[in-house]
């Protein structure tokens, strides 16, 4: 449920690819500690023009309208059965 551009930037608007994010461990942990800030419906993962829900443009998932990212993210975190913060911030999650 994390969109491509969250990590890679707006690659469809880059005339030449470049490193969008630092890729430092702290940068990764910011997302892993609070994934609900970045989750979106799975059918929107590859949508480079996706916008977070707002009262002007709600996101409807499973018949429910969301007008803010945190509410949507919390419900998607439960729906997608994401592992606990402790699990996804463990070194072995990425470094095997």
Query: What's the residue count for the chain?
Result: 96
Q: What is the pLDDT of residues 64-92, one digit of tens each?
A: 999 999 999 999 999 999 988 888 888 88
pLDDT of res. 64 = 98
Q: What is the pLDDT of residues 11-60, one digit of tens each?
A: 999 999 888 888 888 888 999 999 999 999 999 999 999 999 999 999 99
All residues at 6 or more sequence positions from 93 whose CB lies less than 8 Å from its CB, including other chains:
32, 87
pLDDT of res. 91 = 83
Q: What share of the chain is helix, strand, coil (3-state, %, to 5)?
A: 45, 10, 50
pLDDT of res. 22 = 86
First to last CA, the chain: 22
pLDDT of res. 20 = 87
Q: When comparing pLDDT for 79 and 5, which is higher?
A: 79
CA torsion, ordered 93, 18, 14, 67, to nearest 10 deg: 30
User: Strand locations in the chain, DSSP E?
Assistant: 59-61, 64-66
Rounded to two decimals, the pTM is: 0.84
pLDDT of res. 70 = 98
């Amino acid at each position: 449920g994390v969109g491509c551009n969250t990590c890679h930037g707006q690659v469809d608007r880059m005339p030449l690819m470049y490193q969008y994010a630092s890729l430092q461990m702290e940068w990764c942990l910011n997302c892993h500690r609070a994934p609900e800030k970045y989750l979106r419906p799975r059918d929107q993962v590859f949508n480079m023009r996706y916008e977070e829900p707002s009262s002007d443009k709600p996101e409807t998932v499973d018949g429910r309208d969301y007008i803010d990212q945190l509410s949507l993210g919390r419900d998607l975190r439960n729906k997608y059965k994401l592992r606990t913060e402790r699990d996804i911030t463990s070194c072995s999650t990425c470094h095997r």
